[in-house]
Amino acid sequence: MEERRAMPLIGDDAPAFVARTTMGDISFPGDYSGKWVILFSHPADFTPVCTTEFMTFASMQDEFRALNTELIGLSIDSIYAHIAWLRTIKEKIDFKGMKGVEVLFPVIEDLKMEVAAKYGMVQPNASTTQAVRAVFIIDPAAKVRCIMYYPLSTGRNLDEIKRTLIAIQKADAEGIATPANWQPGDDVIIPPPGSCGAAKERVESAEEGKYCLDWFMCLRKDK
C-alpha cells in the first residue's frame, strides 16, 4: 500500500519542532507564545515563483506583525542556500516595484524533511524532493486554524492569506462569521440560532445595525 504522510488538520495542535533557520535556532511553539504564526513552505530556493512570494511576504511583514502574527518559511534546502538566495533577492531582484527587499523572518533549513513531514508538506505525486506551497495559520494556543495548499506552478495570493487571518481573528473576537468575498469593513454574519424561540427573537430584536434576510440568516454592520 502506498505510504501517505500525515498532516495536522484544522483544530489540531500544530506539531512542535526545533529547527535551524536564517535567523538562528527556533523552538516552535515555545518561542511564539502569545503570537499567531503563518508557517509556509516553498519548493526550492533560487526559483522564480518562490522569489516573488518571498519578496511579497517580506514587504508585508509589518502588516502581519500589526496583526500579532509572525512569519516562518521553510524549504528542503540548506541554510547556506537560503542565505545566498535571500542575499540575491536583496541585491539583484526588482519585481513590481519591490527592490532591495530584505527577508527578516526565519527560513527553516529542512534537509532531512523533518518539519515538512510533520506538516504533510511533501506530497509524492507532486515531488519527492520538494515541498509544495503549503500555508498553515496557527493561533496563539498553537492550534491549526487554516490550511492552504497550492501546486508548484501557482504563486500564492498574499492578500487572501492576510484576509483569511483577519477574518479568523475577527470571528474569535466577536463571535461572528464572514460571508463569501468578505473584506475588512464589510457586513458580517450573526451565527444562526439554535432553537425556534431564539430564531423568532433574533428576527424581531432591534439590535443596532442588524438586518435579517430570513430566520437563519442575519447580518450586522461591521463594528
Known catalytic residues? 50
Structural contact between residues 134 and 156, judged by C-beta atoms closer than 8 angstroms: no
- What is the spatial distance between Cα 214 and Cα 207, in angstroms, rounded to a whole number? 15
143: nearest Cα among 35, 60, 27: 35
Q: C-alpha grid cell for residue 133?
A: 506551497
- What is the spatial distance between Cα 223 and Cα 208, in angstroms, rounded to a whole number? 11
| Cα distances (angstroms) measured from residue 72 to each of 42, 178, 180, 192, 196 | 11, 26, 28, 36, 46
Q: C-alpha grid cell for residue 68?
A: 500579532
User: What pairing do the DSSP bridges indicate for beta strands 69-75 and 94-95?
Assistant: unpaired
> What is the residue whose three cell numbers read 519542532?
17
Over its C-alpha atoms, the chain yields an Rg (Å, rounded) of 20
14: nearest Cα among 156, 179, 143, 207: 143
In the chain, the amino acid numbered 164 is T
- What is the spatial distance between Cα 34 and Cα 148, in angstroms, rounded to a whole number? 22
Is 133 marked as binding a ligand?
yes
Give the residue ranges of the annotated binding site for substrate. Answer: 133
Give the residue ranges of the annotated binding site. Answer: 133
